[in-house]
Amino acid sequence: MFAVRDEDAALDVVQDAMLKLTEKYAAKPAGELPMLFQRILQNTIHDHFRRQKVRNTWTTLLSAFGKGDEKDEDYDVLETLSAKSDSNATVDPAKQFEQGQIVGMIEQALARLPARQREAFLLRYWEELDVAEAAAAMGCSEGSVKTHCSRAVRALAAMLSGKGLTL
């Protein structure tokens, strides 16, 4: 969910990863499956972003056509889309805004981390894998996972405290 930032897309990515795992690695021992799944999941997330990039390119190109005969300068394709009615937003707009600001700051801080630190941090603390499982999923040693996690935590704390956010 954090990686793709869309609940429906996240469910699709996980489902695709599970299918790939069962199709290609059903004969593997059960102890190896969690690490294989994490690697397959990471690759599936990368594939999702590649496909999304291609789709966005076509959407951008097609949106230049406007809406038929009325090629209005102010026309925006996004204005024609309806908002989701089943959102789980809180009733208090001020609280919703504050939560959105905090989540945005955390996401920005995570995005600024180097890729390996972000991956180690998310596997350890978001996916709740132990050090050995995270190392196997990342294809590195347990010591590297510990180092990447430690550096990620320090960097996140510094970035967030610099913005006045303390958790």
Q: Where are the domains of the chain?
A: 1-81, 88-167
Q: What confidence score (pLDDT) does residue 94 get? A: 83
pLDDT at 81 over 60: no
User: Is the domain covering 88-167 a CATH 3.30.420.10 domain?
Assistant: no
Spatial CB neighbours of 111, under 8 Å, sequence gap ≥ 6: 118
Cβ-count burial 116-153 (b if 16+ within 10 Å, e if not): bbbbbbbbbeeeebebebbbbbbebeeebbeebbebbe
Contact at 8 Å (CB) between 90 and 96? yes
What pLDDT digit, counting tens, does each position of 89-138 carry?
556 788 888 888 888 888 888 889 999 999 998 888 888 888 999 999 89
pLDDT at 140 over 60: yes
pLDDT at 148 over 90: yes
pLDDT at 145 over 80: yes
Q: What confidence score (pLDDT) does residue 50 get? A: 84
Mean pLDDT (the chain) is 80
